[in-house]
């Protein structure tokens, strides 16, 4: 009975759903992209290309039929029927070269999809941290508005008691209105950032998307962007080999059957004929194709070299940004501690009547600005980790 009760409670309990992570957000964002939606169709395309490369003929066979007679002039009964089927033939090694091109194109497509997902991960990361920064500004603006309202209430009581002048109340209430206006602006900014993240991923902002720096330095050639360009070079090389060695159009084997008679009273005679057609290899056909394939390969190699330098520079810049952001966090933390200590001392002096309201408001603003900058630099340091991982080609 006890076990049955436990089982019933487990069945009736609401299911526990795991909180969405930054990795989930990337997967959802990628699943919404046209390239991801078209992946099944692309797979079918490459399967069809491989099947075509393994076919018995490189092109579809053709059938022709015709009749020749003398009905328009003599009409002696002369008649000739001819049926011919033409079978295109593979050139030596052509199927292997075509298979190599199809395989290279498929590898290039998969690498391009991986590079596309990596770029989407960068967009998700940036949108996530923009939302986190905006949410942090809301929290600080709310606290500032609350502090400004409490200060305005305190000033109002002291004005009523005759300790402070009416002008001090005006300044305190003005500071409160300014804090509330800043809170409204921060809420609008956070709403826009949240909307951008939801449009991209279809999810709300994860509560915690903080990443750890990559423990190992990935190989530069394994970077998604460089892998895609490497596959593009391999595809261009395969196409160049194909056009260089397939120097002529496909030959054809023609099989014809003829049925003919000379006059009405003569029986039909049947005959069978074979023909082999071999196109010539000419420069007019081959030179433009080879030149185009060679130009494509040169462009792919140049793009790879340029992108490799760019990726290496981005990694160095991201690593330096992370180091500098950590230093900035330490400096802003020290400034915030000093501003907070100053604010506490001046608040105590104001409560004792030893300080005017203007100095008190200035100390409050300085403390808020120091806290805002400190919190923002902490988030920027965390974002620098995400940017370094992104530059390294590491997904969340």
pLDDT in tens, 156-203: 888 888 777 788 788 888 888 988 998 999 999 999 999 999 999 988
| Residue 259 phi, psi dihedral angles, 5° rounding | -130, 120
How many distinct structural domains can be found in the chain?
1
**CA dist., res. 144 & res. 332, Å (int):** 19
Question: Token pair of 384, please?
Answer: 């620098």
**CA dist., res. 122 & res. 142, Å (int):** 30
Question: What pLDDT score does 329 carry?
Answer: 93
**Per-state percent for the chain, helix, strand, coil, to nearest 5:** 70, 10, 20
- Residue 73 in domain: yes
Buried b (16+ CB within 10 A) or exposed e, 294-317: eebbeebeeebeeebeebeebbee
Question: Token pair of 300, please?
Answer: 């792919």
- Residue 3 in domain: no
CATH code of residue 221: 1.20.1600.10
Question: What pLDDT score does 37 carry?
Answer: 94
- Residue 236 in domain: yes
Q: How many CB atoms lie within 10 A of CB 202?
A: 12
- Residue 163 in domain: yes
DSSP letter assigned to residue 222: G
Domain residue limits at 355: 24-392
- Residue 311 in domain: yes
**pTM (two decimals):** 0.82
CB 357 within 8 A of CB 155: yes
- Residue 17 in domain: no
CB 206 within 8 A of CB 19: yes
Length of the chain: 396
CB 164 within 8 A of CB 358: no
Reference 96, options 138, 144, 62, 53; nearest CA is 53
**CA dist., res. 129 & res. 89, Å (int):** 60
- Segments of the chain scoring below 70 in pLDDT: 1-19, 207
- Residue 361 in domain: yes
Question: What pLDDT score does 19 carry?
Answer: 63
- Residue 252 in domain: yes
Question: What pLDDT score does 1 carry?
Answer: 47
Question: What pLDDT score does 319 carry?
Answer: 92
Question: What pLDDT score does 4 carry?
Answer: 46
**CA dist., res. 38 & res. 119, Å (int):** 17
């Amino acid at each position: 009975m006890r076990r049955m009760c436990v089982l019933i409670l487990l069945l009736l309990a609401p299911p526990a759903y795991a909180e969405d992570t930054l990795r989930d957000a990337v997967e959802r964002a990628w699943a919404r992209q046209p390239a991801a939606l078209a992946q099944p169709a692309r797979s079918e395309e490459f399967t069809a290309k491989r099947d075509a490369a393994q076919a018995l003929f490189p092109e579809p066979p053709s059938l022709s039929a015709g009749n020749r007679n003398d009905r328009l002039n003599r009409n002696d009964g002369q008649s000739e029927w001819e049926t011919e089927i033409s079978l295109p033939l593979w050139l030596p090694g052509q199927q292997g070269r075509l298979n190599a091109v199809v395989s290279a194109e498929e590898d290039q497509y998969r690498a391009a999809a991986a590079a596309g997902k990596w770029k989407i991960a960068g967009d998700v990361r940036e949108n996530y941290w923009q939302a986190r920064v905006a949410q942090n500004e809301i929290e600080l603006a709310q606290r500032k508005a609350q502090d400004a309202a409490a200060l305005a209430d305190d000033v109002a009581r002291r004005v009523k008691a005759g300790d402070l002048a009416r002008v001090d109340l005006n300044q305190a209430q003005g500071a409160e209105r300014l804090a509330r206006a800043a809170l409204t602006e921060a809420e609008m900014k956070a709403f826009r950032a949240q909307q951008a993240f939801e449009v991209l991923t279809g999810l709300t902002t994860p509560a915690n998307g903080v990443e750890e720096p990559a423990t190992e330095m990935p190989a530069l050639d394994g970077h998604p962007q460089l892998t895609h360009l490497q596959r593009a070079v391999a595809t261009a090389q395969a196409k160049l080999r194909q056009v260089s060695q397939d120097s002529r159009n496909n030959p054809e084997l023609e099989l014809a059957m003829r049925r003919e008679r000379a006059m009405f009273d003569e029986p039909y005679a049947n005959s069978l004929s074979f023909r082999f057609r071999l196109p010539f290899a000419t420069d007019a056909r081959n030179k433009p194709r080879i030149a185009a394939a060679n130009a494509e390969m040169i462009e792919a190699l140049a793009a790879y070299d340029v992108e490799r330098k760019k990726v290496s520079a981005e990694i160095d810049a991201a690593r330096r940004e992370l180091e500098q952001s950590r230093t900035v966090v330490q400096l802003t933390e020290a400034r915030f501690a000093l501003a907070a200590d100053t604010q506490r001392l001046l608040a105590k002096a104001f409560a004792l009547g030893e300080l005017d309201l203007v100095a008190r408001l200035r100390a409050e603003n300085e403390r808020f600005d120091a806290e805002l900058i400190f919190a923002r630099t902490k988030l920027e340091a965390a974002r620098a980790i995400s940017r370094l991982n992104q530059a390294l080609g590491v997904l969340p």
